[in-house]
Structure 1
Amino acid sequence: MSTSTDSEGLNANTSASSTSKALHRIVIVGGGAGGLELATALGNKMSGRASVVLVDRASAHIWKPLLHEVAAGSMDANAHQLEYAAQARWHRFVFQQGELRGLDRVRKTITIGNLLDENGLELIPQRQIEYDTLVLAIGSVTNFFNVPGAEQNAIALDALHQAEHFRRRMISLCMRADRGITADGNQTRPQLNIAIIGGGATGVELSAELRNTAEVLGAYGLHHLDPQRDIRITVIEAAPRILSALPEKVSAKTTSLLNKLNIDVLTDAKVSEVKANEVLMANGNSLPADLTVWAAGIRAPQVLSELNLPVNRLGQIVVRQTLQTEIDPDIFAFGDCAACPWPEKDSTVPPRAQAAHQQASFLFDALKKKMAGETLPSFTYRDLGSLVSLGRFDAVGNLMGPLVGSTLFIEGLLARLLYLSLYKMHLAALHGIVRTMADSLGQWLQRRTSPRVKLH
């Protein structure tokens, strides 16, 4: 992102704080699905009553559930990214790029780290931003569970740069394997082994997208690789079944579909160590792995444990059902980084996109009540079910709610359309329905004339 854009945002924030002190200052840290939706809604509806600042360490937003498609090369991230600065200009809020470094609850300020370019030159210095209401929505990061070698030798899919790194490395290894070159440089039968550690939605969806990529690559010059036999994909899950958080019927159907795609599924397989070209199991077995992905769990970013706010064992900020922190009513947290009570299940709200979307809508109304001095309502999570996409091959899931009874199993075209609608709902919250429809048409037309896999 250009320095002029960042300077405009910094100057705008300074001007807002100096000339509009009567405005209620709402600072949102984290431009993920929920944070960006909340900033957009507040900017649209609260202009003149509140100044809204969105902080994120990246310059552009991409919906996190899409990262597995970027990693597989089946989606061009450039067509789906949204520049925060542009969104801020269109929807009357201010964007500040930088990473959260600290919190001063007494002075009601947050510290944002300096911004460097790719050569290490400072673009924007470290600064402090004042707030009246602070909302933390910085998402989650991969939990490697202290498994030896996992962080060093496995690729996580927390951010766009990681997904792009995986895609480039996968294509590079495919090209080498097509010429009979293994990871250690020896000439042998062409083969590439991909290990995906974690049988949740991310791991399962990535495995299916990779199988599709393997089949497509053959049409673009990799003629010596058999996509089914020579590109081996294995999903490794420590639990007795994949998708353990979903109904057993969804898990069983998904396992059957993966097996039909010649994707190996290992369950009750606890990983003890990840090496550069091998995954070791706790039972003594090992699996060759030229490329390893870690998708086995999440935790909150480390910085949240350094803010002197109550956190749980995963580092999530503990909040009340109003989404306010337990010790400061002017600080809210939601999404993956927050532990919000879910009394009906005697648990906390799960880290899902639908939860962040619901909480963003709740906070839009709750913050208006807070500014008016009214009592805040309690957030109630509505589990609408879960969907798992296997790319062009299939989709499965379950719907929940009063309209369908307790649980309704779905698959095929209906499940694929509903899965797609989740992303379209997110886009509609950011752009409105008309622009979302127009952008969707443009992207569909572009796909008609573009390679099915991003090759560079």
Structure 2
Amino acid sequence: MLADQPTAKARKTQIVIVGGGAGGLELARLLGARFGRKNHDIVLIERNLTHIWKPLLHEVAAGSLDANLDEVGYRSHGHRWGYRFFLGSLQSLDRKRRKVIVAPLVDVDGTELMAAHAIRYDYLVLAVGGVTNDFNVPGVREHCLFLDDREQADAFRHRLLNQCLRVSRTMSADAEADEHVCVTVVGGGATGIELAAELYNSASALRHYGLEVFDEKRLQVTLLESGPRILPALPEKLAAAAHEELEALGVSVRPATRIVEARAHEMITDEGEVIPGHLQVWAAGVKAPDFLGSLDGLETNARCQIVVRPTLQTTVDDRIFAIGDCCFCELPDGKPVPPRAQAAHQMASATYRNLIRLMRGRELIPFRYHDHGSLVSLSRFSTVGSLMGNLIGGRIAVEGRIARFVYKSLYRMHLLAIHGFLRGAILILIGRVNIVVRPKLKLH
């Protein structure tokens, strides 16, 4: 049975945000800090209890980041900033009655904790993020791992450590054994590149944590990219530098290699080649979740992204906004806003301003995306990218320490955006201390 909100709540202007990623969480904080709970009810619906910045998931997967120390609990964050957190997943939308339908909440043993129910809204923001695009390649969903959320990153880490333990024990028992952990990564974008490099960083430290005969030489990573080169979003010179650095680490980088089928522990190329792997990670492309394609008439594209106008309002409903990877926003030059963390941040700020203008009956301001460039971290080994973007009419190629400093600053800016300046600055300081005092690897 669908339950409505209490009458007392209905008298308030209710703004519902679905999705607690970088954009949704920042917007909830901005609105909660601005309006509080007196005349407004800001509701954040999210299927997870905690938030972790998605660009860090490759470090969680490799074990070099303990997500328990960096995650943000939505309940405590909501109490601090004046919004309400609701645990659940969006099931459907009723635009006529202005209600979102939240799917039943189920316990780990399958017991239903809470039936499906409705939450009313005066204004709705969809910020559910994106998921990895499998391009309908047979076997990918069944046999590959993904890095779309914390749960998937943890699952990869557990399987990785089990394989490392297997190799270590085999070599301890047999000095003549030549065992390896073989990891196949499909996708030469930022996620695939960063994961491949981070794996070698973690492998080099494992011998200090009980796996005495294991080191990076026991790791074999194959990076597959269907395009002519890795990192197509970066200038060719920087992509070539990243390619060279990866191969120096031991990664087998294979551009122009298209996968047509995934099987248990092996990938099949369009030329019939079989590429074996104990672990197979699919990191090729981004799309929106499939359920967005059936949300009460909202316009979507082929990737299930919600099509929005320049104001970030949906094309069929002025009271519904969409931000981040789940929306398709076309720029004046005809190109879509890229699925990046900086885009989600900018969209959150723009939607915050436009919601205020909409409630005041003022004209809304079109969203303007400012490209600040792209950076790709190759763990502690290197960082490459381009800065400034269209702010100066061009790009500045950066590598090494400067690029690494700017890359780390992106996460610090995220902390300031979701926690405010004072608390964010304190957390940044604590993070510096944790680098020194906490273990280098998370092995559980």
Say whether residues 1:323 and 2:323 are aligned partners: no
Q: CA deviation at 1:49?
A: 4.2
Structure 1 residue 95 and structure 2 residue 46: aligned? no
User: Are 2:376 and 1:388 equivalent residues in the alignment?
Assistant: yes
Q: Any idea what the Cα deviations from partners look like across 1:377-421, whole Å, max 9, x if unmatched? A: 100111110000111111111012466551100111111111111
> For 2:304, what is the secondary structure of its paired residue?
coil
Q: Is 1:35 aligned to residue 24 of structure 2? A: yes
State the Cα distance separating 1:117 from its structure 2 match.
Answer: 2.0
Aligned positions of 1:367-446 closer than 5 A: 367-401=355-389, 404-446=392-434
Of 433, 451, 455, which residue of structure 1 is paired with 2:439? Answer: 451
Give yes or no for the alignment of 1:130 onto 2:133: no
CA distance in 1, matches of 2:100, 2:390: 43
2:5–2:120: 8 Å Cα contact kept in structure 1? no
Please give the secondary structure, in 2, of the residue aligned with 1:398: strand
The one-character-per-residue Cα deviations of 1:180-200 (angstroms, maximum 9, x if unpaired) are 38xxxxx95211111000010
Q: 1:193 aligned to 162, 165, 182, which one?
A: 182
Residue 212 of structure 1 corresponds to 201
C-alpha distance 122-20 of structure 1, shift in aligned 2 (>3 A):
closer
SS state at 1:324 partner: coil
1:4 is matched with none
8 Å CA contact retained: 2:372, 2:391: no
User: What residue in structure 2 maps to residue 247 of structure 1?
Assistant: 235
Does 159-168 or 268-277 show the bigger shift?
268-277
Per-residue CA deviation, residues 74-131 of structure 1 (Å, 9 max, x unaligned), is 0001001111111111111111111100111110101001212222223332210001
Matching residue's letter, 1:323:
L
Specify the code of the residue in structure 1 equivalent to 2:206. Answer: L
Structure 2 counterpart of 1:124, which letter?
A: M
**Pairing 1:161–2:151 present:** yes
Pick from 168, 173, 180 the counterpart of residue 170 of structure 2: 180
Q: Structure 1's 305 and 403: CA in aligned 2 closer, same or farther, altered over 3 A?
A: closer
Aligned partner of residue 211 in structure 1, secondary structure: helix
- Mapped partners of 1:224, 1:83: distance in 2: 38
Q: Which residue pairs with 2:72 in the alignment? A: 82
Count residues with an aligned counterpart.
437
**Offset of residue 279 of structure 1:** 1.3
TM-score, normalised with respect to structure 2: 0.95
Could you tell me which residue of structure 1 aligns to residue 34 of structure 2?
Answer: 45
1:269 to 254, 257, 262: 257
CA, structure 1 residues 148+403, in 2 after alignment: closer, same or farther (shift >3 Å)? Answer: closer
Percent identity reads 45
Checking the alignment, whether the CA contact within 8 Å between 1:179 and 1:190 is kept in structure 2 is no
| Contact 2:206 2:214 (C-alpha < 8 Å) held by counterparts | no
Instruction: Note if contact 2:16-2:121 (Cα within 8 Å) is conserved in structure 1.
Output: yes
Deviates more, 1:146-155 or 1:202-211: 146-155
- Is 1:26–1:131's contact at 8 Å kept on the other side of the alignment? yes
Distance 1:303 1:408, change over 3 A: same
Change (3 A) 1:20 1:154: closer
CA distance in 2, matches of 1:359, 1:226: 43
Match of 1:120 in 2: 110
State the superposition RMSD in angstroms.
1.8
Is 2:325–2:344's contact at 8 Å kept on the other side of the alignment?
yes
Q: Which letter does structure 2 place at the counterpart of 1:67?
A: L
Distance 1:336 1:402, change over 3 A: closer
TM-score (norm 1): 0.92
> Would the alpha carbon gap of residues 400 and 59 (structure 1) be closer, same or farther in structure 2, given more than 3 Å must change?
same
Q: Deviations over 1:186-225 (max 9, x none)?
A: x952111110000100000000100101111122232333
Letter in 2 for 1:107: R
1:57-76 mapped onto 2 (5 Å cutoff): 57-76=47-66
CA distance in 2, matches of 1:390, 1:119: 40
Which residue type is aligned with residue 203 of structure 2?
A: A
Where 2:113 maps in the other structure, the secondary structure is: strand
C-alpha distance in structure 2 between counterparts of 1:204 and 1:333, whole Å:
29
Deviation string 1:30-59 (CA, Å, 9 cap, x unpaired) is 110000000100000022442211101111
Return the alpha-carbon distance in structure 2 between the equivalents of residues 401 and 146 of structure 1.
33
Structure 1 position 25, deviation (Å): 1.3
Q: Is contact 1:243-1:251 (8 Å) kept?
A: yes
Match for residue 221 of structure 2 among 233, 257, 261 = 233
Corresponding residue of 1:279? 267
In 1, the alpha carbon distance for the partners of 2:12 and 2:235 equals 48
**What is the CA distance between 1:349 and its match in structure 2?**
0.6
Report deviation, 1:341. Answer: 1.1
Could you say which residue in structure 2 is the equivalent of 1:343? Answer: 332
Q: Is the 8 A contact 2:305 2:326 kept in 1?
A: yes
> In the TM superposition, what is the alpha-carbon distance from 1:281 to its structure 2 partner?
0.9
CA distance in 1, matches of 2:157, 2:245: 24
Asked whether 1:289 is paired with 2:277, we answer yes
**2:136 aligned with 1:146:** yes
Letter in 1 for 2:238: V
- Contact preservation (8 Å) 2:126, 2:323: yes
Partner residue, 2:15:
26
Counterparts of 2:284 and 2:152, CA distance in 1: 16
CA deviation map 1:235-290 (0-9, x unaligned):
10000000112221221111111111111100000011112121111112221201
C-alpha deviation, 1:22, in angstroms: 4.2
Q: Which runs of 4+ in 1 moved over 6 A?
A: none
Native 8 Å contact 1:259 1:265 kept in 2 = yes
Structure 1 equivalent of residue 95 of structure 2: 105
Asked if structure 2 preserves the Cα contact closer than 8 Å seen for 1:190 and 1:225, the reply is no
> 1:24·1:371 contact (CA, 8 Å) conserved in 2?
no
Deviation, 1:306, is: 1.1
